Amino acid sequence: MPMDGLTLGFIARELNAALSGARIERVNQPEKDMLVLLLRNNGKNHKLLLSASPSFARAHLTEAQFTNPISAPMFCMLMRKHLTGGKLISISQLHGDRVLLLEMEAQDELGVMHPYQMYLEAMGRHSNLTLVRDGKIIDAIRHVTDDMSRVRQALPGLPFTLPPAQDKLSPEEADAGALLSRLQGYEGRFDKALSLHISGLSAAAARELSLRVTGSEQASADPNHLPEICEKLSAFLAKLPEMSPPMLLRGEDGLAADVFPFLYLSYPADRQQAMPSLSQALDSFYDGRDRRDRMQQRTASLRKTLKTSIERNEKKLALQQEELLNAARSEEYRVMGELLNAHLYQVPRGAETVTLDNYYDGQPLRIPLDVRLSPAQNAQRYFKRYQKARAAARLAAEQKEKTLRELGILEEALCDLDSCQNEEDLSDIRRVLRDEGLMKATAAERKKQPKGQRKSAPMRFAAPDGTVISVGKNALQNEQLTSAARGNDMWLHAKDMPGSHVIIHAEDKPISDETLLCALRLAAWYSKGKGQAVPVDATLRKYVKKPSGTPVGFVTFTHQSNYVIQVTEAEIQQIPTIK
């Protein structure tokens, strides 16, 4: 679920305890709507992630590694100018809602100390991150013009105003009397009433509070017991800051499904995993989802282009196969021509058809004739049709081979998009398509690449015994990975479908069954057959060859063993990655 006000209150208290008084060492902006503050406090380094993503707005400490752009965005440069070397004074939640306030102070160019406020609004598509000094906006990570909102703009130099206040109680203000006056007279489910009158409650949080104070997630707002319920609710809200530990909810597939600031009785206890901190729980839950969501957005245009190209090539292939079937009649034309030549004396002039003995199969053959032509001219007409059909067959065969090659490259690229983790991986896919003439270079790609341009790298995993397993993320990486592997390393690939080349770096040591199983799972998962029973070929690298003139990543191999394996995402997540 998106971060609600209840969870934000817990993370605000956790961050304030850990970071109050911290020095701001550096500011990075790995994504257009994400800021990462590198802080030092009490002899320890911390990374504070502040995200204004419409889907995954949040704030927490993180251990994740981010790739920063080679040239820092303007917003990042401005944050560095104002905040680097400054101090983080406090972190607090405003009015129990989804607004986080970071109080900071830093010196300007003249050495004068100034107070700053940074506001994170975790409000879905209205999420934003704004730096304010003396009541005016220095800059916002997402500019909001008057065309976008007549109520509240976010542009440098404008006065900063908080989001319009809702007519709701914050958890801190919700004493028994205030709750009773709000809830009295309400008819309907109690959890709905809580969502309407207490700020920052998601549907899951409202159901949990209802269960805690009424004994049911869907209890009605019973007016006869409302004073007693309000007393219990007020007491529960008052002790919220003391409740612990935070929980990571696991789905039936074992994957992280949600985050709760404390044990939620409305969900099975055996599926809730206690976490050392709420930051670690949020980091585990959001990081993979956020990266996948961003990569899906970046690859959406290319994915659409590839699917369109694949459909076009499939239609072209069907036509070429039809042409080949038609061209298969070329031998029939040749036989007709030869029979006519051999039996000219038996062919009456002006006849529409003639039936002659076919000395190839001993059966009579009916031959259509053009009444305007002589028997000899009809024979020549069939020889010409034979030559034309043969030429068409050769051309159709060549075109079919070209189409199959293009289809293979396009389907491989489409599969590779699912393994993309960064812009460098995406650039590799575009490069292969450009080199094969299947995509034109954009204006940005035609420019000379800046110095320090990062190169993509295969994924690396650790088998149970510590053996390193490498997995290519695209055709270019597959070719480089296989080319660099040693002869006695194990090579794996999903059989007869697009997928990653997987290398077990054996280093001349025996490969254990556990390591092989780990590699087989990776080969099955990073293939077009992901999630199904996938046949996987495995052989030593020395038996893998790269035929001349074949597309990038294409190989042939011998001495293979074949396995069939089905793997889940939870099993893949259990394989440790090597950074």
The model's pTM is 0.81
Average pLDDT over residues 561-565: 96
**Tokens 């592997």 label which residue?**
485
**Tokens 């409302």 label which residue?**
226
In angstroms, how far is the first alpha carbon of the chain from the final one?
29
DSSP letters for 362-383? SSEEEEE--TTS-HHHHHHHHH
Has residue 444 got a pLDDT over 80?
A: no
The encoded tokens of residue 422 equal: 């960064």
Give Cα 56 to chain centroid, integer Å: 14
DSSP 172: T
If one compares 436 and 447, the residue with the highest pLDDT of the two is: 436
Residue 180: helix, strand or coil by DSSP?
A: helix
Query: Do residues 29 and 10 touch, judged by C-beta distance below 8 A?
Result: no
Evaluate the omega torsion of the peptide bond into residue 30 and state whether it is cis, within 30 degrees of 0: no
Q: How far is CA 527 from CA 133, 177, 467, 474, in A?
A: 51, 60, 22, 11
Helix (H) or strand (E) holding 357: strand 353-357
The closest alpha carbon to 500, from 466, 474, 519, belongs to 474
Residues 60, 49: Cα–Cα separation, whole Å: 6
pLDDT band with cut points at 50, 70 and 90 for residue 309: very high
- Beta bridge partners, 60, equal 49
Helix (H) or strand (E) holding 88: strand 87-93
Has residue 442 got a pLDDT over 80?
A: no
Has residue 342 got a pLDDT over 90?
A: no
Residues 225, 271: Cα–Cα separation, whole Å: 33
Model pLDDT for residues 26-48, shown as the tens digit of each residue: 999 999 999 999 999 999 999 99
Residues 321, 249: Cα–Cα separation, whole Å: 53
Cα atoms in the 13 Å half-sphere on the side-chain side of 493:
28
Q: Tell me what percent of the chain is helix, strand and coil, each rounded to the nearest 5.
A: 40, 20, 35
Residue 94: helix, strand or coil by DSSP?
A: coil
Residue 418 contacts by C-beta under 8 Å, 6 or more apart in sequence? Answer: 526, 530
**Tokens 């994740």 label which residue?**
64
Query: Do residues 8 and 200 touch, judged by C-beta distance below 8 A?
Result: yes
DSSP letters for 242-286? G----EEEE-TTSSEEEEESS--TTS-GGGEEE-S-HHHHHHHHH
Give Cα 452 to chain centroid, integer Å: 26
Model pLDDT for residues 296-308, shown as the tens digit of each residue: 999 999 999 999 9
What is the sign of the dihedral through the CA atoms of 24, 25, 29 and 30? negative
The closest alpha carbon to 474, from 396, 531, 552, belongs to 552
pLDDT attached to residue 333: 85
Model pLDDT for residues 153-177, shown as the tens digit of each residue: 999 999 999 998 888 999 988 999 9
Has residue 139 got a pLDDT over 90?
A: yes
How many helices, marked H, and strands, marked E, lie in the chain? 14, 22
Model pLDDT for residues 182-197, shown as the tens digit of each residue: 888 888 899 999 999 9
Buried b (16+ CB within 10 A) or exposed e, 328-340: eebeebbbbbbbb
The closest alpha carbon to 426, from 311, 293, 296, belongs to 296
Evaluate the omega torsion of the peptide bond into residue 69 and state whether it is cis, within 30 degrees of 0: no
Residue 186: helix, strand or coil by DSSP?
A: coil
Residues 231, 180: Cα–Cα separation, whole Å: 9
Going from the N-terminus, what domains does the chain have, and what CATH number goes with each?
A: 5-140 (2.30.310.10), 459-573 (no CATH)
Query: Do residues 119 and 161 touch, judged by C-beta distance below 8 A?
Result: no
Residues 423, 299: Cα–Cα separation, whole Å: 10
Q: How far is CA 117 from CA 49, 88, 131, in A?
A: 16, 10, 6
Has residue 450 got a pLDDT over 70?
A: no
Crossing angle of helices 330-342 and 375-417, rounded to 10°: 170
Q: What percent of the chain has pLDDT over 90?
A: 69
Average pLDDT over residues 11-26: 97
pLDDT attached to residue 321: 86
Has residue 327 got a pLDDT over 90?
A: no
Helix (H) or strand (E) holding 89: strand 87-93
What is the sign of the dihedral through the CA atoms of 366, 367, 372 and 378? negative
Model pLDDT for residues 256-278, shown as the tens digit of each residue: 899 999 999 999 999 999 999 99
What is the sign of the dihedral through the CA atoms of 296, 299, 305 and 309? negative
If one compares 25 and 219, the residue with the highest pLDDT of the two is: 25
Residue 568: helix, strand or coil by DSSP?
A: coil
Query: Do residues 19 and 249 touch, judged by C-beta distance below 8 A?
Result: no
pLDDT attached to residue 439: 86
Model pLDDT for residues 467-503, shown as the tens digit of each residue: 999 999 999 999 999 999 999 999 999 999 999 999 9
DSSP 188: S
